[in-house]
Amino acid sequence: MPSAEGSRGQKGWKLGSGSPPPLGPGRERPERGRAGPRCQDPQADSSISPLPHLESKIQQTHSLARLLTKYAEQLLQEYVQHQGDPFGLPGFSPPRLPVADLSAPAPGHAGLPVPERLRLDEAALAALPPLLDVVRRRQAELNPRALRLLRRLEDAARQARALGAAVEAVLAALGAETRGPRPEPAAAAMAAATATAGVFPAKVLGLRVCGLYREWVSRTEADLGQLAPGGPA
Amino acid sequence: MPAGRPGPAAQSARRPPPLLPLLLLCVLGAPQAGSGADTAVISPQDPTLLIGSSLQATCSVHGDPPGATAEGLYWTLNGHRLPPELSRMLNASTLALALANLNGSRQQSGDNLVCHARDGSILAGSCLYVGLPPEKPFNISCWSKNMKDLTCRWTPGAHGETFLHTNYSLKYKLRWYGQDNTCEEYHTVGPHSCHIPKDLALFTPYEIWVEATNRLGSARSDVLTLDILDVVTTDPPPEVHVSRVGGLEDQLSVRWVSPPALKDFLFQAKYQIRYRVEDSVDWKVVDDVSNQTSCRLAGLKPGTVYFVQVRCNPFGIYGSKKAGIWSEWSHPTAASTPRSERPGPGGGACEPRGGEPSSGPVRRELKQFLGWLKKHAYCSNLSFRLYDQWRAWMQKSHKTRNQDEGILSSGRRGAARGPAR
């Protein structure tokens, strides 16, 4: 990042005293007569290519997805710990059901064009927050003292929203169409239903939602990796 | 789970999804039965039981096509397969389970009782809640910080171990009128505490109690009656300063300011001071520091760093007859006593521990002798005080010797001498 020190940052050099000493690598020179570097609007000057901005955006979103993949894994581990065995045991494998408005990435997902994959990623990330909220509310009844789990579920909903918005911005920057009007989420109906459903099915449903969250952020990370500098695209 | 069980993808490809998925599809608004699914139901669903009690459960399989059998089904509890002798087929489609002498639930979300198909897939689940009803909470104590709020804490009955989530609710009301109120800010000073931040009346008693509730019942503590003014505490005294007292090697002066929040109400206050040597964990407490804001510590070691803290008890607020509640200790303040100026040959000061004054020509000669010692000897800090200490010891020793000789002469022959010193 450019230093904001300006004249203060250089020993023995004062503003307007002549040629400034050479700067170290990676540092931009502030404009003469101004207090420090300023952020230029890349679109104000049409000679500046939008490509570095897009690359930077993709890189940032990819990094975010990588971080959230790690968090999603931690959420899943925390979740199974509080449901008790057999949740979390190596052989435990409840049926992987489709959840309303959301299913796991299809086997053919990786074969789609990158913009289409990102559209599907964005749609899934938009569907996840209300589902995570439902799971959090049910877990607040089942595990009221599991404060870290409840906080992770709340954070996951927020993070899914943020990653979805970032992917949507990348799609817009690529000039790709984003999804059309989104259907009303079925989360409200799901919330009412899970409130009356048995505890074991509610635990399984929560596991499914946490698993889907992990699958989709991981999928998003992989798809963005195709576009990030150094990726195949 | 049995070894060699095929993965879920293979299961899905080979057979219709079992009941649990269908339950979840129902939950999620998907079509009901008749979709080609095996179904199973565990009864009872999510029961609550006392520790040591028994459970009779059934897993009933329905199927499409009809005639799905309970043959080969088995149970697990918290991931452990239950012995076959605990199960029996009630009929072709129902497997029963009998569990006796149940232990407390392993997790708050309930023990997972699962009915499995022959291939290990999950057909249905039910969560067991095994525990104890709450016992009466007790030992409620409350305090008010500067008369503005009230914090209470209590001890859960039976040391809190009910194996079930137990909810504690602190209730309070004005003794002679008013409705029950419920405290809302929990866990402020520990897991069993609650804080009432405002809207508290003074000069009128409150009744306070705690209600404990879980799936197996509830219990209520005894009622504590108190007036806010009788349980007031305050902030630690601010601006604690510790300084030397001139060149006195064994003294430090401690000064502080009375807590500002109560300065308009504190007609009386008690203070306590505690101090310790820097590398010690043993505090010494000066207890009777009443209504003053300074104190001189004496009898300290020279050349030593001391940590000092002060706390305040705002008793007698608005005429309350009860002792208040001590504040927290102030942050430690450190200071050191002056070093001795002339150390002796052993490195220490020859300090007397007290003595009696004496007079006369002996003292004049002694004074001259001591003056000569200061110039010509290492042990130059001898003083009259040390001489007086010696004289007192000599007198006492002489008296003791006379008493012993008196005793001996009445019962024995020969003199007894005290130990050489």
In a domain, B27, yes or no: no
Contact B28 A193 (CB under 8 A): yes
Does residue A3 have a pLDDT over 60?
no
Q: Among the three residues B100, B131, B162, which one is the final residue of a domain in this structure?
A: B131
Determine, yes or no, domain membership for B248. Answer: yes
Answer yes or no: are the C-beta atoms of B38 and B116 closer than 8 Å. Answer: no
Q: How many residues does chain A have?
A: 233
Q: Per-residue pLDDT tens for B368-411? A: 777 777 666 555 456 666 767 777 777 767 666 666 555 444 44
Which of A83, A146, A201 is facing B24, going by the closest CB pair?
A: A201
User: Distance (Å, rounded) from C-alpha B324 to C-alpha A23?
Assistant: 66
Is residue B304 domain-resident?
yes
Cβ–Cβ contact A140 with B under 8 A:
no
CATH of the domain at B265: 2.60.40.10
Structure tokens, A205: 């449903």
Using an 8 Å CB-CB cutoff, list chain B residues near A197: 23-24, 27
Q: Would B60 be classed as within a structural domain? A: yes
CA distance B194 to chain A (A): 16
Q: Check if B49 contacts A (Cβ < 8 Å).
A: no
Chain A residues in contact with B126 (beta carbon < 8 A):
198-200
Q: Which pLDDT score, from 0 to 100, does residue A97 have?
A: 62
* Below-50 pLDDT ranges, chain B: 1-37, 344-358, 380, 407-421
Whether B420 is covered by a domain: the verdict is no
Q: For chain B, what is the domain count?
A: 3
- State whether B109 and A85 contact (CB < 8 Å): no
- Indicate the residue among B131, B156, B178 that finishes a domain: B131
Q: Which of B21, B30, B45 sits opposite A95 (nearest CB)?
A: B21
Contact assessment for residue B304 and residue B267, using Cβ atoms and an 8 Å cutoff:
no
Domain assignment present for residue B187? The answer is yes
**B118 and B199 together in one domain:** no
Last residue of a domain, one of B213, B232, B251: B232
Residue in A102, A223, A39 with CA at minimum distance from that of residue B28: A102
Determine, for residues A201 and B121 on separate chains, whether the beta-carbon distance falls below 8 Å.
no
| A194 touching B (Cβ < 8 Å) | yes
- Packing angle between helix A147-174 and helix A199-227, nearest 10 degrees? 40
Q: Which residue of B lies nearest to A196 if distances are taken between CA atoms? A: B27
Q: In chain A, which residues have their Cβ closer than 8 Å to the Cβ of B120?
A: 91
Q: What is the pLDDT of residue B331?
A: 95
Asked whether residue B121 falls in the same domain as residue B165, the answer is no
Q: Which residue range is the domain that position B172 belongs to?
A: 138-232
pLDDT at A15 over 70: no
Residue whose pair of structure tokens reads 């809302």 in the numeric block: B184
Residues B332, B238 share a domain: yes
Rounded-to-integer distance, Cα B237 and Cα B269, Å = 11
What long-range pairs does B176-183 form, CB within 8 A, spacing at least 24? B176/B204, B176/B205, B183/B152
SS3 B205: coil
Residues 202-231 in A contacting B (C-alpha not used; CB under 8 Å): 203-205, 208
Tell me how far apart the alpha carbons of residues B388 and B352 are, in angstroms, rounded to a whole number: 9
Which residues in chain A are contacts of B108 at CB distance < 8 A? Answer: 82, 142-146
* Closest listed residue to residue A127, CA positions, set A185, A191, A73: A185
Hey, is the C-beta of A190 within 8 angstroms of any chain B C-beta? yes
d(CA B89, CA B316): 75
User: Of residues A116 and B419, which shows the higher confidence score?
Assistant: A116
pLDDT digits (tens, 9 = 90+) for A99-113: 777 888 999 999 999
Q: Are residues B193 and B273 in the same domain?
A: no
Clarify whether residues B215 and B280 are in a common domain: no
B11 in any annotated domain? no
On whether the pTM is more than 0.90, the answer is no
Q: Which amino acid is at B413?
A: R
Pair of tokens at residue B381? 């800090």
What's chain B's Rg over C-alpha atoms? 40
Backbone conformation region of residue B119, classed left if phi is above 0, alpha if psi is from -120 to 50, else beta: alpha
Which DSSP category does B398 fall into? H
Calculate mean pLDDT across residues A200-210: 94
> Do A198 and B125 lie within an 8 Å CB cutoff?
yes
Mean pLDDT computed over A55-66: 94
DSSP 8-state secondary structure symbol assigned to residue B371: H
Among A17-26, A139-148, A178-187, B198-207, the minimum mean pLDDT is found in A17-26
Q: What is the pLDDT of residues A147-179, one digit of tens each?
A: 999 999 999 999 999 999 999 999 998 887 666
pLDDT at A16 over 60: no
Q: How far is A74 from chain B (nearest CA, A)?
A: 20
> What pLDDT sits at residue B5?
37
The pLDDT of residue B376: 63
Give dist(CA A131, CA A209) in Å, integer: 7
Question: Residue A24 has what pLDDT?
Answer: 47
Interface test with A, best of B82, B112, B128, B129 (most A CBs within 10 A): B112
Candidates B19, B59, B80, B109: best to mutate against A (most CBs of A within 10 A) is: B109
